[in-house]
Amino acid sequence: MDIFLQQIINGLVQGSIYALVALGYTMVYGIMGLINFAHGEVVMIGTLVTITVAGTMIKAGMPVVLAGFAGLSASVLVCMALGWGLERIAYRPLRNAPRLTPLITAIGMSIVLQNLAMMIWGRNYMTFPPLLPKMDFEVAGANFTAVQLIIVLVSSLTMGGLLLLVYRTKLGMAMRATSQNPAVASLMGVNINRVIAAAFVIGSALGALAGVMVGTYYEIAHYQMGFMLGLKAFTAAVLGGIGNLAGAMLGGVLLGIIEALGAGYIGDLTGGFLGSHYQDIFAFVVLIIVLMFKPSGLFGEKTGDRA
């Protein structure tokens, strides 16, 4: 039983990370119907910037707390600028192009950012400076750390904040209006360009936050780390219903738990026929089953055939 609990904790933490990244995908998709494949790379750059800034400051003998905050702020700022730049350079000129075009551009930007990061930070793995105190807890035979707790907390708080932003502020109202019909919204006096840019900037800031969380958790970073993470988060967003904030959160946590349980039990359930390397397949089988019965995801709203 303690194993089950441990697997749930493993899944919950992993899932919270997916959720945090998935929020960025879903935010942009909800407004423009664009899947921003470069979002995983934004997360990666968030991690690497934190390493550079916080690592240098710690080396210079500054207190860890200060270095941590500086690293976090720097990475949020850099990623916000990056998100704005991406939208301005890569996506805005294609706003009225067929939907496949910005999708391909997104993949292209993802490759560009990866290679740029490789040129700046090199090919080697980097270690993330320990920004949070190391504390281990044990409850009912299951181990968890302070970092894990913080990750789950941060990702729930972030989602709460986002919901407030979308449903309780003027900007949020403008976002919802733009998502329903950009043309009409702009006729009603909503500055579409500003709203979309804001969505990118906020999404990227969340990406930076996710990057810092991933970095603190695994203490390892690499210029390619965003690819797989982005793919999984995208899956989580689809599972929960892409475009829906609560759905992204739920999809992320669900995906994380399914993966952990899959890896933990699939071998025993199939009598060793399928091993733990099938954990990804396990997750995707669940995704397919969900999409068969609810094609727009668990929380997704029905949309017309836009693609």
Partner 1 sequence: MQAKLSVVALSVAAAFALAACGQKEEPKPVAAPAAPAAPIAKPEIVVKLGHAAPMTGPQAHLGKDNENGATLAIEELNAKGLEIGGAKVKFELLAEDDQADPKQGSIVAQKLVDAKVNGVIGHLNSGTTIPASKLYADAGIPQISGSATNPKYTQQGFKTAFRVMANDVQQGKALGEFAAKQGVKTVAVVDDRTAYGQGLADEFKKAAEAAGLKVVASEFTNDKATDFKAILTKIKSKKAELVFFGGMDAQGGPMAKQMKELGIKAKFLGGDGVCTPEFMKLGGEAAEGNYCSLPGMPLEKLAKGPEFKDKFVKKFGTEIQLYAPYVYDAVMVMADSMKRADSVDPAKYLPAIGQTKYDGLTAMIEFDEFGDLKGGAISVYQYKGGKLEYVETLGGGAVATAQAEVKEAVAEVKDAAKAVAGAAAEAGKDAVKAGAEAVKSAAEATKAAVEKK
User: For binding to partner 1 (CB under 8 A), which residues are involved?
Assistant: 3, 6-7, 10-11, 14, 104, 107-108, 111, 118, 123-125, 127, 136, 138, 143, 145, 218-220, 222, 224-225, 228, 259-264, 267, 275-277, 279
Contact indicator for 212, 46 with CB cutoff of 8 Å: yes
CB of 194 to partner 1, least distance (A): 31
Q: At 116, is the secondary structure helix, strand, or coil? A: helix
CB of 259 to partner 1, least distance (A): 7
Q: Compare residues 119 and 188 and give the one whose CB is closer to partner 1.
A: 119
Q: At 295, is the secondary structure helix, strand, or coil? A: coil
**Distance linking the first and last C-alpha atoms of the chain:** 46
Q: Compare residues 67 and 201 and give the one whose CB is closer to partner 1.
A: 67
CB of 276 to partner 1, least distance (A): 5
Q: Compare residues 136 and 305 and give the one whose CB is closer to partner 1.
A: 136
Backbone angles phi, psi at 36, to 5 degrees: -85, 85
C-alpha span between 296 and 240 (Å, rounded) = 8
CB of 299 to partner 1, least distance (A): 25
3-state percent helix, strand, coil for the chain, nearest multiple of 5: 75, 5, 20
Q: Which of 307, 226, 179, 113 minimizes the C-alpha distance to 105?
A: 113
Q: Compare residues 201 and 287 and give the one whose CB is closer to partner 1.
A: 287
C-alpha span between 294 and 239 (Å, rounded) = 9
Q: Which of 251, 250, 277 minimizes the C-alpha distance to 262?
A: 277
Q: Compare residues 69 and 227 and give the one whose CB is closer to partner 1.
A: 227
Q: What's the length of the chain? A: 307
Contact indicator for 250, 298 with CB cutoff of 8 Å: yes
CB of 279 to partner 1, least distance (A): 7
CB of 129 to partner 1, least distance (A): 11
Q: Compare residues 203 and 226 and give the one whose CB is closer to partner 1.
A: 226
